[in-house]
Structure 1
């Protein structure tokens, strides 16, 4: 199977420690994190993805906002510049140790965080990166 992720979730997955908007969102993301850790491929999509799924029925669903679409564009551009691979809609990515390591190094350095602008989770993610990604749930197979 393949996990469908929008581009800015390529950044979010780096620091996911089991916190989220709602219990349903968090439980869903924990399952996705386990699949990513098992090496399941990522298909980059436009708009709401597998992470967004529990939020789509909410009255104030931010998944469809223009600001989130802008985060996606900035995230895909940053990942493409870093890794020299496609990271926009239609791209296929394997979340292996090399991918996660390079992404986390760049995230810690702040060089791929353009897609995090104005995100309410940014302070939490910064703290997780500063801790050496202690407690993250997406880990490569060799961890």
Structure 2
């Protein structure tokens, strides 16, 4: 099976430590991390993805807002440039890809999409700690 992710959520996974909008959101996110650990591939999608599912029942989920769509666009460009691929086909997160993404995240190279994000300070802290406590580890991929 393939996990559908919007591009900015791929960035979020780099620093995910089990915090989120709601308990249902966190439980869903944890399940996605387990699926990645089981070797499932990632397909980047436009719009709501597997991470968004618990939020889609809200009256007006932020998943559809223009600023979130712009975050996806910027993240896709940055990740595509870093990985030297167009990201139109499913791909896997192996140790090399994950460590490369985290190194680029730490330097800000792939973080234009993070501007204005309410979680940016937390992500900064996690990256500065050397990714201590993250739930997605290279050993899982």
Band of TM-score, shorter chain = over 0.9
**Pairwise CA RMSD:** 1.3
| Aligned twin of 2:30 | 30
Q: Which moved more, 1:54-63 or 1:67-76?
A: 54-63
Deviation at 1:142, TM superposition (A): 6.2
Q: Which runs of 4+ in 1 moved over 3 A?
A: none
Runs (5+) with no aligned partner, structure 1: none
Runs (5+) with no aligned partner, structure 2: none
Q: Give the alignment of 1:42-53 within 5 angstroms.
A: 42-53=42-53
- Higher fraction of helix: 2
In 1, are the aligned partners of 2:38 and 2:140 still within 8 Å (CA)?
no
In 2, are the aligned partners of 1:38 and 1:141 still within 8 Å (CA)?
no
- Aligned length in residues: 141
Cα distance in 2 between the residues matched to 1:3 and 1:85:
18
In the superposition, the TM-score normalised over structure 1's length comes to: 0.94
Cα distance in 1 between the residues matched to 2:140 and 2:50:
25
